[in-house]
Structure 1
Amino acid sequence: MREDILHFIWKYKKLQLGNLKSSNNEAIQILDVGSHNLLSGPDFFNAKIQIDEQLWAGTVEMHIKSSDWYAHNHETDPNYQNVILHVVWEDDCDVFRKDNTVIPTLVLRDYIPSSLLQEYQKLFYHKERSLINCGNEIGHTSDFVLQNWLEVLYFERLERKTDLVTKLLKDSNNDWERVFFVLLSKNFGLKINSEPFFEIAKRLPFPLVRKIQDNTLQMESLLYGFAGFLDDDIIGDNYYDSLKKEFTFLKAKFHFLDLPHQKPEFFKLRPSNFPTIRLSQLANLYVLHHNLFSRVINAKSVEEIYLVFKVSASEYWNNHYTFGKVSKKHVKILTRKFVDLLIVNTVLPIKLSYAKHMGRDVPDEIINIISGIISESNTVISKFKSLKLQFPSAKESQAVIQLYNEYCTKNKCLQCAVGHQLLNRKP
Structure 2
Amino acid sequence: MSYFAEQNGQPMKEDFLHYLWQYQYFDKTDLRTAGGEEIQVLKPGHRNADAGPDFLGARLRVGEVEWNGAVEIHLRASDWERHNHQLDPKYDQVVLHVVGSHDADVTRTNGSPIPALALSPRIAPELLRRYQQLMEAPAAAPLPCAPLLSQVPDITRTMMVERALLERVELKADALTALHQHLGDDWEATAYHALMAAFGFQKNSEPLARLAKSLPLAVLRRHRHDQRQLEALLFGQAGFLVDNEETEADAYIQDLKQEYAFLRHKYDLTEAALAVHEWNYLRLRPANFPPVRLGQLVGLLHARPTLFDALLTAQSVAALAEFFQAPAPEYWRTHFRPGRAGKVPSLGKSSIDLLITNVVLPLRVAYARHVGQSALVESSVALLTELPAEHNQFTDVYEALGFTHRSAADSQGLLSLHKNYCAPRRCLHCAVGSRLVRQPRIVG
Same fold (TM over 0.5): yes
Matched, 1:391 2:412: no
TM-superposition CA deviations, 1:151-195 (whole Å, max 9, x none) = 221121122212332332233212211121111011111222111
Matched, 1:36 2:47: yes
Instruction: State how far apart, in whole Å, the 1-side matches of 2:108 and 2:382 are.
Output: 55
Change (3 A) 1:126 1:248: closer
TM-superposition CA deviations, 1:115-142 (whole Å, max 9, x none) = 3222212221236962122122346532
- 2:362 alignment partner, SS class: helix
> Which residue matches 1:418?
432
TM-superposition CA deviations, 1:376-423 (whole Å, max 9, x none) = 233222333333323212222222222222222322211111111112
Matched, 1:255 2:284: no
User: What does 1:131-142 align with in structure 2 at a 5 Å threshold?
Assistant: 131-138=142-149, 141-142=152-153
Task: Say if 1:301 and 1:365, in contact at 8 Å, map to a contact too.
Answer: no
Answer with 72-81 or 232-241: which moved more: 232-241
Q: CA deviation at 1:261?
A: 2.1
User: What does 1:24-173 align with in structure 2 at a 5 Å threshold?
Assistant: 24-97=35-108, 100-126=111-137, 130-138=141-149, 141-173=152-184
The alignment yields a C-alpha RMSD, in angstroms, of 2.2
TM-superposition CA deviations, 1:48-73 (whole Å, max 9, x none) = 11122222222211111122222222
Structure 1: tracts of 5 or more residues without a match: none
Give the residue type in structure 2 aligned to 1:86. H
TM-superposition CA deviations, 1:194-250 (whole Å, max 9, x none) = 111111111113223122222222211111011111121624322212322332343
Change (3 A) 1:255 1:40: closer
Matched, 1:346 2:359: yes
> Which residue matches 2:346?
333
Matched, 1:400 2:414: yes
Matched, 1:356 2:369: yes
Answer with 118-127 or 297-306: which moved more: 118-127
Instruction: State how far apart, in whole Å, the 2-side matches of 1:75 and 1:386 are.
Output: 50
TM-superposition CA deviations, 1:93-131 (whole Å, max 9, x none) = 222445655422212122233332222122212369621
Change (3 A) 1:318 1:36: closer
Task: Say if 1:312 and 1:332, in contact at 8 Å, map to a contact too.
Answer: no
> Which of 331, 335, 340 matches 1:320?
335
> Which residue matches 1:303?
318
Task: Say if 1:67 and 1:92, in contact at 8 Å, map to a contact too.
Answer: yes
Instruction: State how far apart, in whole Å, the 1-side matches of 2:380 and 2:439 are.
Output: 33
Task: Say if 1:296 and 1:305, in contact at 8 Å, map to a contact too.
Answer: yes
> Which of 377, 381, 388 matches 2:395?
381
Instruction: State how far apart, in whole Å, the 1-side matches of 2:50 and 2:110 are.
Output: 27
Give the residue type in structure 2 aligned to 1:423. V
Task: Say if 2:142 and 2:423, in contact at 8 Å, map to a contact too.
Answer: no
Q: CA deviation at 1:81?
A: 2.4
TM-superposition CA deviations, 1:317-350 (whole Å, max 9, x none) = 33321222333xx352110111111111111111
- 2:36 alignment partner, SS class: coil
User: What does 1:1-16 align with in structure 2 at a 5 Å threshold?
Assistant: 1-16=12-27
Task: Say if 2:89 and 2:109, in contact at 8 Å, map to a contact too.
Answer: no
Identical columns (%): 35
How many positions carry a matched residue from both structures? Answer: 424
Change (3 A) 1:79 1:306: same
> Which residue matches 2:7?
none
Instruction: State how far apart, in whole Å, the 2-side matches of 1:141 and 1:215 are.
Output: 59
TM-superposition CA deviations, 1:288-343 (whole Å, max 9, x none) = 2112321110012212111111233322233321222333xx35211011111111
Task: Say if 1:133 and 1:408, in contact at 8 Å, map to a contact too.
Answer: yes
Task: Say if 2:241 and 2:256, in contact at 8 Å, map to a contact too.
Answer: yes
Instruction: State how far apart, in whole Å, the 2-side matches of 1:96 and 1:220 are.
Output: 67
> Which residue matches 1:197?
208
Give the residue type in structure 1 aligned to 2:387. I
- 2:99 alignment partner, SS class: strand
Q: CA deviation at 1:352?
A: 0.9
Answer with 46-55 or 159-168: which moved more: 159-168
Instruction: State how far apart, in whole Å, the 1-side matches of 2:372 and 2:101 are.
Output: 49
Answer with 1-10 or 160-169: which moved more: 160-169
> Which residue matches 2:5?
none
Change (3 A) 1:58 1:116: same
TM-superposition CA deviations, 1:260-300 (whole Å, max 9, x none) = 42432333321001111111111111222112321110012
Instruction: State how far apart, in whole Å, the 1-side matches of 2:150 and 2:348 are.
Output: 33
Instruction: State how far apart, in whole Å, the 2-side matches of 1:404 and 1:174 are.
Output: 33
